[in-house]
Amino acid sequence: MNVLIIEDEKKAAKELERILYEIDGDLSVAAILDSVEQGVSYLSKEPPIDLIFSDIQLADGMCFEIYNQVTISSPIVFCTAFDEFMMEAFETNAVSYILKPITSEKVATALAQYHQMKTAFEPASAARALGKISSHLKNVFKTTLLVEYKEKIIPLRVKDIAYFYLDKTIVKITTQTNQCFFFASSLDEVERILDPELFYRANRQYLINKKFVASIERHFSRKLVTKLSVDTPEAIVVSKAKASEFLRWLEGLNN
């Protein structure tokens, strides 16, 4: 049996590979890939893959981008940090999952499920599973953040946040009404828990909400200066390297 691992955390990928060989010495790990780009390139060549172990959030995007671009017939075991939405989708569609952290018991269960259903596995079933997982996944991102204000804890709707700003080591939130709150987390962590269709990491200091982008000006060095509909402490500069990606992100706005 040929197995493909798609996982952007090197340590997690090697641990999964070790566990697979420990459970079944006859299987073969055909490749370990760590990005959407690698996944598309590899699977486009139609290699003989019996089973895919796929992380959901990769360094350059969501794994679903791979399966939207490449038609595959291999069943998939998703490795994820999400819980109830993913479990519901997999149980309904007979696609297994591993809830991180990865253990030998979880991998063994996933392999047993694969062997039980492989004769009945059809590409159409996989497509339906991916569709349901994708729709559920949109609900996994945070829609509300809890912030402290004076002696109170306030639920703040994510859609009302205009931007996050890293001021030295402190993350500040500014809302559509120019209210300001402090948030006890790193900007990297905030980026991970928010919907990337709505929020974009413009640079090291800014994570901005697409709804509040008012205008964009081209800078002489091919950088972009973005202005929001609310005040910002300093200009939001998008580097030349990220300019094209940023514009594509803006074009993807669905109202």
> Domain with 49 in it: what CATH number?
3.40.50.2300
Q: What is the pLDDT of residue 91?
A: 41
- The residues near 208 (Cβ < 8 Å, ≥ 6 apart) are 162, 163, 164, 199, 200, 202, 226, 228, 236
CATH of the domain at 218: 2.40.50.1020
Same domain, 22 and 62: yes
Closest CA to 95 of 131, 57, 43: 131
Q: Is residue 23 domain-shared with residue 106, that is, in the same domain?
A: yes
Residue 163, both tokens: 């931007």
- pTM for the complete prediction? 0.49
Task: For residue 53, give its domain range.
Answer: 2-137
Q: Which residues of 57-86 are buried (b: 16+ CB within 10 A; e: fewer)?
A: ebeeebbbbbbeeeebebbbbbbbebeebb
Q: Hey, how many other C-beta atoms are within 10 angstroms of the C-beta on 101? A: 10
Phi, psi dihedral angles at 194 (to 5 degrees): -110, 155
* pLDDT on residue 43: 92
Task: State the Cα–Cα distance between residues 40 and 168, nearest whole angstrom.
Answer: 38
Residue 27 phi, psi dihedral angles, 5° rounding: -75, 165
**Domain check: are 113 and 55 in the same one?**
yes
Please tell me whether residues 148 and 123 are part of one structural domain. Answer: no
- Residues 10, 75, single domain; the answer is yes
Same domain, 171 and 236: yes
Average pLDDT over residues 167-184: 94
The answer to whether residues 132 and 44 belong to one domain is yes
User: Are 49 and 119 found together in one domain?
Assistant: yes
Which of the listed residues 90, 119, 137 is the one where a domain comes to its end? 137
pLDDT digits (tens, 9 = 90+) for 28-61: 999 999 999 999 999 998 788 999 999 888 888 8
pLDDT in tens, 198-213: 999 999 999 999 999 9
CB 93 within 8 A of CB 132: yes
In Å, how far are 17, 54, 73, 127 from 21, measured between CA atoms? 6, 17, 23, 29
Residues 92 and 169 reside in one and the same domain: no
Domain boundary among 137, 166, 200: 137
Look at residues 73, 104, 137 and tell me which one is the last residue of a structural domain.
Answer: 137
- Could you give the number of structural domains in the chain? 2
Q: Are residues 197 and 118 in the same domain?
A: no
pLDDT, position 211:
95
Q: Are residues 130 and 226 in the same domain?
A: no
Q: Are residues 126 and 38 in the same domain?
A: yes
**62-106 per-position pLDDT tens digit:** 887 888 888 887 888 888 776 544 554 454 334 677 778 889 999
